[in-house]
Amino acid sequence: MEKKSRLKIARRVLLFWTLFIGLGALAGGYGMIADPSGKAMGMDAMLPYFQVLPFAEVLFRDLFFSGIALIVVNGITNLTAAALLLAKKKSGIILGGIFGVTLMLWICIQFYMFPLNFMSTIYFVFGLSQAIAGYAAWVFERQERFVFDPSDYKNVGTNDKRLVVYFSRMGYVKKLAYETADQTGARLYEIVAKERTQSTAGFWWCGRFAMNRWAMPIEPIDIDLSAYEHVTVCTPVWVFALSSPVRAFCQQARGKIKETDYICVHYARGRYENVAREMDSLLGVLHTDYLSVRCRTGYYKAERGEKS
Ligand SMILES: Cc1cc2nc3c(=O)[nH]c(=O)nc-3n(C[C@H](O)[C@H](O)[C@H](O)COP(=O)(O)O)c2cc1C
């Protein structure tokens, strides 16, 4: 079955907003230019409110300038973003999100001019929804662009004295585990969770285990850990601590590992030395090295931690 693309969903939502706002602005702007008095569109009663704006006597005696501004600021911009989104260009995602913010700023001017009203408020919410869709599409685009091919790591498994153990949801820890094993020739062992960890629902399910500091049930460890001279354990950070599947692994591996070092991957800043301390106490060994790696949708920044 083909994997559901969160990028495609977010891009479609963003396309909807850019078309909806863009076409609406074009139609509204055209109406204002066609009849600058505002009578035809029932907007003439709003004209006095425009007088609080700078240069009102020149620009806002009628709705002509406002119509042009509406077409330029919210119409052409959003339709350009829509065309770029249809052409699957990344710039469409960025511009679509930015134009959501532009709409919110536009509405802020209306909040300043008019008394609180339903139309301005709802369009502010539309702008916010568009900006959120743009941000989500930008994040998902980076996530889905992240690919790595295990067959690129030819040296993995050539040294039977070393082992790299890892758990990974999205592949970020997995890639580092492969790189590490490739450097030393270590064998690889993947910790497989018995619970749901994939997709958005999986994220929240993992969060439940992590918040409670529970160990997550894993498939039985079917290798002899005591046969290796050195084992590197790679884990993501979950809710500021050791991830739940690696917690289960460490509990089950207690007393079986002779020498170890850790690689800890996280999204936010910080070194998460607590992760290393928890692994030491669960495994019953003191680590020889600790690498804390910040990873933002596939871009790594490493920082070496203190040895114990
Ligand atoms: C349930 C959950 C909780 C997380 N909590 C944190 C956190 O507290 N701090 C942080 O920097 N990253 C946190 N993250 C992000 C992961 O540590 C980060 O994205 C890591 O690269 C994931 O690697 P993986 O995709 O290979 O499993 C969390 C991720 C999940 C799924």
Question: What is the Cα 250 distance to its own chain's centre?
Answer: 29
CA distance 132 to 115: 26
More confident of the two residues 216 and 144 = 216
Q: Lowest mean pLDDT: which of 21-35, 208-222, 284-298?
A: 284-298
203 Cα–ligand 1 center, Å = 9
State both tokens at 120: 């301005």
Question: Which residues 6+ apart lie within 8 Å of 37 measured at CB?
Answer: 44, 62, 63
- Taking residues 27-31, what's their average pLDDT? 96
Q: Which of 204, 266, 296, 303 to mutate to test the pocket of ligand 1 (most atoms within 8 A of CB)?
A: 266
Phi/psi for 97 (5° steps) reads -65, -45
Q: Which of 209, 235, 237 to mutate to test the pocket of ligand 1 (most atoms within 8 A of CB)?
A: 237
Q: Which residues line ligand 1 (CB under 6 A)?
A: 168-174, 203, 206-207, 210, 236-240, 265-268, 295
Query: What percent of the chain lies above the pLDDT cut of 90?
Result: 81
Strand ranges for the chain from DSSP E: 162-166, 187-190, 230-238, 241-242, 260-266, 290-296, 299-304
Q: What's the confidence (pLDDT) of residue 1?
A: 45
Ligand 1 atom 19, closest CA: 267
For residue 299, the one-letter residue type is Y
243-285: per-residue pLDDT in tens?
999 999 999 999 999 999 999 999 999 999 999 999 999 999 9
pLDDT at 305 over 70: no
Candidates 177, 186, 192, 170; CA nearest to 252 is: 192
State both tokens at 255: 């007393």
State both tokens at 76: 């052409």
130 Cα–ligand 1 center, Å = 26
31-71: per-residue pLDDT in tens?
999 999 988 888 888 888 888 888 888 888 899 999 999 99
- Taking residues 282-289, what's their average pLDDT? 96
For residue 117, the one-letter residue type is N
pLDDT-based confidence at residue 303 (cuts at 50, 70, 90): confident
